[in-house]
A and B are shown apart, each in its own frame.
Chain A
Amino acid sequence: MEFEPVIGLEVHAQLLTDTKIFCGCSTRFGAEPNSHTCPVCLGMPGVLPVLNKKVVDYLLKMAMATHCTINRESSFARKNYFYPDLPKGYQISQYAEPPAEHGWVDIETEAGKRRIGITRIHMEEDAGKLIHDENSPSSYVDLNRTGVPLIEIVGDPDIRTAEEAAAYLKRLHEILVYLEICDGNMEEGSFRCDANISLRPVGQKAFGTRAELKNMNSFRNVQRGLEYEIKRQQYILESGGVVVQETRLWDDAAGVTKSMRSKEEAHDYRYFPEPDLVPVHVDDKWLEEIRSAMPELPLEKRERFVSQYQISPYDAGVLTSGRALADYFEEVARLSGQPKAAANWVMGDILRLLNEDKKTVVECPVTPTNLARMITLIQDGTISGKMAKDISEAMYTTGKTPGEIIEEKGLVQITDENALAAALSEILAKNPDQVAQYRAGKDKLFGFFVGQAMKATRGKANPQMLNDLLKKMLSNQE
């Protein structure tokens, strides 16, 4: 029997607000343990949560970017469970009335394009962290992360392969980062993914028994974890067994998933409406504010780049992989008036230099103005492409303008035909044997004359002009 995997992903994205979701504490990562805390996020008696409006702004952005229906009223709920990293003994989340539902994103894999549904997006608070001391029987609690805002993006069970799961995740990640509402750092846990996965015989409508998969902290691990889990469940089903409903952890080192807790051990979260918060009302004005501030999203931008700049979809993909890079490219294209050359230079030398230094385009010492200027100088023949390579590297290391560098290095091309002709005459006169051989049909010697000419002009000869002139002079039988 052939089986079909049914996969739904739950993504938690930490939002880039300055302050926490229900108090004024900083959300900055990496501070001294428990230094970003106050009575509210410590869950002290008598304190109350107050919703950070920015969190709603960010949720609305994500909801719009993923084509969700936005509910004008949503409410908070308490999710109750005991754990030391959860100071109140409950997490404030949203349950019965989510703010956004029924969205989708398009993904593309080897198998083609597919649309993956989004069940809902809601806001909630993050928990703290436990720090275990290997040398002591105690554990410590760091509550800096407690109350950092999260959105949970619950996907429909539309995904059928591990590859699709990774593509879907990358799409969400890209949108979140583009919207500048999440830094997308999977290692630090600001972008986390759990997966629900079950198998069913191909053609069957009803879902099989699912396992929930946790602890996959990279795109690769999500793919590996799901691939492993598909095989594991397939093996069980093919050998006549039954899949048990449970939560399983991905063990990266061992490359396997391991049972964490069974359905019987699952928490009963006892959700109920959060009485300390009032429902969130989103009115037209608020929606319009968000809508008008929405940036162009990566997919739209990609399509626009292809049509507007006549560049390949691949190039457009590279150039839109980040908002800052896309902006950089567009600025160079606009200032130089040469989008294709701009694309080549940005994707070629600039990205290579940045990658070597592990820098991002925001930190690039070559300003769009300088790069555009250089492209213009190539176009008008002032410098050659080869010179430009040197100039771009010099701009990158010194931050100087192309004009300054050309001046310093004396790099201006010789474009004066008479001057160049004089130089060539001299070379031909000095090498009568080679001239004779060339004229006798030894074409390869053309390169020799070019080399000599470049040497004589210290590389400043305009290559095109040199070629043309040389050909003309060599073919002139004396």
Chain B
Amino acid sequence: MELHQLTIHELSEKLRSKETSSEEITASTFGRIDAVEKDVHAYITLMKETAFAEAKRADEAIKKGECGVLTGIPIALKDIVCTKGTLTTCGSRMLSNFIPPYDAAVIEKLRAAGAVFTGKTNMDEFAMGSSTETSFYGTSRNPWDLERIPGGSSGGSAAAVAADECIASIGSDTGGSIRQPAALCGVVGLKPTYGRVSRFGLIAFASSLDQIGPFTKDVEDAAIMMNVLAGYDNRDSTSSIEEVPDYRQFIGKGIEGWAVGIPREFFVGGLDPEVEKAVRQAVKTVEEAGARCVEVSLPHTEYSLAVYYIVAPAEASSNLARYDGVKYGFRAPESRDLLDMYKKTRSAGFGTEVKRRIMLGTYALSSGYYDAYYKKASQVRSLIKRDFDEAFTMCDAIITPTTPTPAFRIGEKTGDPMQMYLSDLFTISTNMAGIPGISVPCGYSASGLPIGVQFLAAHFQEGRLLQIASAYEKQANIEKRRPNL
């Protein structure tokens, strides 16, 4: 095994025992990037120079015996989190020249934990998409089949982990943007409870749904990342003061006697037979691990997509109003007057999908339509949340498919936004309810594409989530394949 193929906990061991150095790990990782990035296109910006400086610092720290959990570990960052002094585009032409003068809260935490940043990963423009196809910087490829999408919006971060172009990465999840690409790329992706990780410095798509989380090669690494990322931040009023446990203690604990809910509404038509088979197998595995499966009902699930496509665009239409060419970012040249500058800047600076959602959201908030759309959607949203609250009185965790199908072909759904939106069917209601969810690899399709199973838990029960995910991972012992790059 090469260094870049290892997990955080494996590399940490080697670093601690001085078997290797961060510089070696970083060199190995950038060697891998040099070899496969032209095919995968996981990154928008590489941070090679600073990465090696950070690796050097990490090695010095290790020498002094100051080895944190992430010291010297190469981590990739979705280009939606602001990095001081490093281009942060959010996948958009609008921010094609934007260099933030501040670090996002998670960047500060990762820096403090000793991480080495490999670069900023590709994503759907402003996180609006499920495939990275809306990125201004081109589509990332699924490492398992370069003709297919890696999922989205955090497709670059998922692909980078799958292709070993980093050890772990950061993504953000508004309707499935971590879990869906994790499933399609065969890696672990965790969306924490809303409020668990500070959103300060996360470029907003839909503020009431956005949440930052990790992509990792296994469940234990996800726990390690959560130990660094989680916690209260006084710069984010929606961040929670709920105590953060040591997530690592939940790894390998077992789930004997647990009740695991299977939501009736998630095993429906449209679910790919191979995905269904793999997830049904996962249910069996969970039972083998000692859990009891119970059927639960989430009756408002069928509205979650509709609610999402009102709430998220509504918030986005407001969040993206700041991109007007006045203060920073792209400004269209040669405008006649202010209105002309606004129109030209926003017409040329945003891509089609972003404009579509801004229009949807603006409409949903318009006077005369607010009650029928936004207000109604907010009401249904509380019902969706209540469904979960009730379900969790009957079970410790919920198991569902992460995505309806394995990775689809590039261009396959770009002409039909509705088809694209359906790929988030199983992940969206989680964000509506604000609960945590994790996608874990659960097998491969006949053509060798990864399939993911999703576990959900109640608010701030990331510990339980990691416990069942790790128990499943251990029990299933899925054959470890590597993409053929």
Contact = CB atoms under 8 A, between A and B. Distances in A.
B326 A84 contact: yes
Interface in B200-252: 200-204, 206-208, 234-238
Contacts of B342: 82
A46 B81 CA distance: 8
A272 interface: yes
Contact of A270 (B82, B203, B208, B367): B367
Given A39-B101, A89-B318, A277-B237, A46 B324 contact: no
A46 B327 contact: no
Contact of A48 (B101, B200, B321, B324): B200
A46 B200 CA distance: 6
* Overall SS of chain B's interface: loop
A88 to B, nearest CB: 5
Contact of B237 (A50, A78, A84, A90): A50
A80 B80 CA distance: 23
A425 to B, nearest CB: 87
Contacts of B82: 45-46
B285 interface: no
Contacts of A276: 204, 207, 237-238
A45 B234 contact: no
Given A78-B318, A270-B318, A45 B324 contact: no
B451 to A, nearest CB: 33
Contact of A46 (B204, B237, B374): B204
B170 to A, nearest CB: 13
A46 B104 contact: yes
A44 B374 contact: no
A47 B326 contact: no
Q: Which of B81, B342, B365 has the most CB atoms of chain A within a 10 A radius of its CB?
A: B365
A45, A47, A273: residue with the most chain B Cβ atoms closer than 10 Å: A45
A48 B199 CA distance: 8
A436 interface: no
A43 B238 contact: no
A90 B361 CA distance: 14
B237 A48 contact: yes
Nearest to A88: B322
B366 A270 contact: yes
A60 to B, nearest CB: 19
B385 to A, nearest CB: 15
A88 B328 CA distance: 12
Interface in B320-335: 320-322, 324, 326-328
Given A44-B100, A47-B201, A278-B237, A272 B370 contact: yes
Contacts of B204: 45-46, 276
Contact of B203 (A45, A82, A273): A45
Contacts, number: 101
Given A80-B321, A87-B327, A88-B321, A46 B207 contact: no
A56 to B, nearest CB: 13
Contacts of A47: 102, 200-201
A48 B208 CA distance: 12
Contacts of A39: 100-102
Contact of A45 (B88, B235, B318, B366): B88
A87 B322 contact: yes
Nearest to B95: A45
B318 A272 contact: yes
Given A42-B327, A43-B327, A89 B322 contact: yes
Contact of B234 (A43, A50, A82): A50
Interface in B337-388: 338, 342, 362, 365-367, 370, 374, 378
Nearest to A80: B318
B98 interface: yes
Given A45-B98, A82-B342, A272 B237 contact: no
A49 interface: yes
A40 to B, nearest CB: 9
A24 B228 CA distance: 27
A96 to B, nearest CB: 10
Contacts of B238: 275-278
Contacts of B237: 48-51, 276-278
A141 interface: yes
Contacts of A273: 378
A45 B321 contact: no
Interface in B282-340: 314-315, 317-318, 320-322, 324, 326-328, 338
A45 B235 CA distance: 14
A268 interface: yes
Given A39-B102, A89-B318, A90-B318, A45 B90 contact: yes
A82 B104 contact: no
Contacts of A45: 82, 88, 90, 95, 98, 100, 203-204, 322
A270 B371 CA distance: 11
Contacts of A278: 237-238
Interface string B45-71: 000000000000000000000000000
A243 to B, nearest CB: 22
Nearest to B82: A46
Nearest to A137: B337
A22 B88 CA distance: 24
Given A87-B327, A268-B367, A270-B366, A43 B322 contact: yes
Contacts of B236: 48
Contacts of A80: 317-318, 321, 365
Contacts of A43: 322, 327
Contacts of A87: 322, 326-327
A46 B172 CA distance: 12
Interface string A286-297: 000000000000
B314 A272 contact: yes
Contacts of A49: 237
B237 to A, nearest CB: 5
Contacts of B207: 275-276
A444 to B, nearest CB: 82
Interface string A13-46: 0000000000000000000000000010011111
B321 A82 contact: yes
Contacts of A268: 366-367
B85 to A, nearest CB: 14
A89 B200 contact: no
Nearest to A39: B102
13 contacts: A39-B100, A42-B327, A43-B322, A43-B327, A45-B98, A45-B204, A46-B201, A47-B200, A88-B322, A141-B326, A270-B367, A270-B370, A272-B318
| 10 nearest A-B residue pairs (beta carbon) | A89-B321, A270-B365, A275-B207, A275-B208, A45-B203, A46-B203, A46-B201, A43-B322, A46-B82, A84-B326
Given A48-B199, A275-B206, 18 more contacts: A42-B327, A45-B203, A45-B204, A78-B318, A80-B365, A82-B342, A89-B320, A89-B321, A268-B366, A270-B318, A270-B365, A270-B366, A272-B315, A275-B208, A276-B204, A276-B238, A277-B238, A278-B238
Interface of B: 80-82, 88, 90, 95, 98, 100-102, 104, 199-204, 206-208, 234-238, 314-315, 317-318, 320-322, 324, 326-328, 338, 342, 362, 365-367, 370, 374, 378
Interface of A: 39, 42-51, 78, 80, 82, 84, 87-90, 141, 268, 270-273, 275-278
